[in-house]
Amino acid sequence: MNFHRTWLFSQFELTRLFATKRGWLAVTAFSLVWFMVLRYPIYNAVPFLNSPEFEGFVSQLAGTIGLNSLVSWPEAELAIFWVIALFTFPMFALFVTADQTVEDRNRGTVRFLTLRSARFELLFGRFLGQVMILAALIGLVSIATLVMMSMRESSLVGSGIIKSVAIWAKLLVTCLPFIALMSLLNLVTNSARMSIVFAILFFTIVASIITYIGDVYPMFAWLNYLIPGHHIGDITGWQSSSNFALLLPIFQAAALLGAAQFILRERDL
């Protein structure tokens, strides 16, 4: 594998989002949605979380769902942002990264590319590009949340930056298998839209069946590890042992990319 060519592919993906009119429209829409999320649910929830009157109720509720450590964060905005982002970004990633190679394959553009690069360089470069796009978007919202928090309490900026970086990294790692799943689905479907449909079917039907099999036959419970996002429950409450759970999405992404490479290597273009 040639790293320079792989890097060129990933850089080109960035220009797809940040150097085209269509890309800027998508970034604008994304920013507006998160502006609304920050302005209303998060901004309004912070006084509620910090209120001494509701402290007991909030702690009790958070304890029930395993979010005890989060409610103790003085950076309440970041705590709420973390929970919302953890459950929305993976799904968002499916849509944002839905077209990695499929449209180029339909148009025949990959034929120009594979005369100049290895198929895996194309696959991995595009994957890496999508990771960088997600990294930029998660970073954008993390910074916005941090700014909102610092407007309320500027003394929290130092600790807030550390937490923001940790949130950014954990969210990004969580999204990896979702991006890799779309890399794979791009090779077995004929359009970005069909890739999304297949992903939705996977997370509704296949994941439900796997969960059911794991519940009924515990010997097959390991199959749950095949489902991207399986680790989310283990990291939501920011438990001290949760860092180990972050290895799972990395392994899942590697396995999905391996499967994608096998398919791409064998398939006709």
Partner 1 sequence: MSTVIEVSALSKSFGAKQALSGVNFKIEQGSTVALVGPNGAGKTTLFSIICGYLKPDMGQVDILGHSPRSAALFSKLSALPQDAQLDPKFSVAKQLSFYAQLQGMDKKSALADTQRVLELVDLSHVAQSKTSELSHGMRKRVCIAQALLGNPEIVLLDEATAGLDPKNAKAIRNLIASLKGHITFILSSHDLSELERLCDTVLYLEQGQLSSHQSDLHQTQQGSYITLQMLNLNDQMQAQIAQLQGVTNVRQTQSDELVIEYTKHAEPLDLSLLTLIHKNQWTYKQIVNGRTLENQLFID
Give contact residues for partner 1 (rule: CB under 8 A).
2, 5, 8, 12, 15-16, 20, 22, 104, 107-109, 111-119, 266, 268-269
Distances (CA, A) of 250 to 16, 91, 205: 25, 17, 23
Q: Quote the least distance from Cβ 108 to partner 1, whole Å.
A: 3
Nearest residue (CB) to partner 1, 39 versus 267 = 267
CA dist., res. 107 & res. 225, Å (int): 35
Nearest residue (CB) to partner 1, 75 versus 104 = 104
Nearest residue (CB) to partner 1, 112 versus 212 = 112
Q: Quote the least distance from Cβ 235 to partner 1, whole Å.
A: 36
Q: Quote the least distance from Cβ 228 to partner 1, whole Å.
A: 28
DSSP codes, 47-78: HHHH-TTTHHHHHHHHHHTT-HHHHT-S-HHH
Q: How many CB atoms lie within 10 A of CB 241?
A: 8
Determine contact, residues 104/187, Cβ cutoff 8 Å: no
Determine contact, residues 99/106, Cβ cutoff 8 Å: no
Nearest residue (CB) to partner 1, 16 versus 152 = 16
Q: Quote the least distance from Cβ 116 to partner 1, whole Å.
A: 4
Q: Quote the least distance from Cβ 13 to partner 1, whole Å.
A: 11
Nearest residue (CB) to partner 1, 5 versus 152 = 5
